[in-house]
Amino acid sequence: MTSGSEGLRRTAGGGDARRLLLHMIFLFSGFAALLYQLAWQRALYTILGTDIASATIVVTAFLLGLGLGSLLGGALAKSRPHSALALFAVFELILCLFGASSLSLYAWAANGFAAISPVETAAFSFLAVALPTTLMGATLPLLVAHDVAVSGNVGRSVGGLYFANTAGASLGAFAAVGFLFASVGLSGTTHVAAALNALLAVGAGGLFWRSRGRP
């Protein structure tokens, strides 16, 4: 009887095509994440204002969410390493749904928060960024767990996937500031990111299906 890791290696293989697809998935995941960060930061300025304090709240929430997500993803990857790719697909789908509706949520909050305290407003804005970015932060350990289960090479998996995600984030920042905000606005930018999340969920789900040895 083969172990779960051996089964994954046999069905998914360690081929360059599979690894390239996995890295492309994570590259576009980083691309979408930066579109969200910049769009949400601008949208939340309507609630918090445009001073240094408001920028600090948004950036801190983003970074804290990524850190907490890494812990969550690490725990899930350790307990369910052979479902890691499926969990990645689920998280991308949740991000798609949240991202597509996020600006409507923020607009509703901007209209309703005039009557509450600045502390409550800041708390909402913090959570509105930290919660979805927690899912984003979980994606790296999940993909690493899957790739290690397939290839058995920890260093190559971590380095390659981290590079792909960072490159995607850089491209996302350039695309958002360079032309997306000007051409499609904040709403269009978040919908581009949400569409990418949906495609990534489908791609990761397909890889998971194949890795389980199903036709």
pLDDT attached to residue 49:
72
Instruction: Give mean pLDDT in consecutive 10-residue pieces for the chain, a chain of 215 residues.
Output: 47 65 94 94 79 79 92 92 90 96 86 70 85 94 86 82 94 96 95 97 90 57
How far CA 1 is from CA of 6, 9, 204, in Å, comes to: 10, 14, 27
pLDDT attached to residue 165:
93
pLDDT attached to residue 11:
42
**Token code pair at residue 69:** 């997500």
pLDDT attached to residue 215:
42
d(CA 77, CA 69): 12
d(CA 159, CA 157): 6
pLDDT attached to residue 178:
94
Instruction: List, for residues 18-31, the tens digit of each pLDDT value.
Output: 788 999 999 999 99
pLDDT attached to residue 54:
74
* Architecture in CATH of 13-211: Up-down Bundle (1.20)
| CB-based burial, 113-152: b 16+ in 10 Å, e otherwise | beeeeeeebbebbbebbbebbbbbbbbbbbbbbbbbbbbe
Residues of the chain with pLDDT > 70, as a percent, come to 88
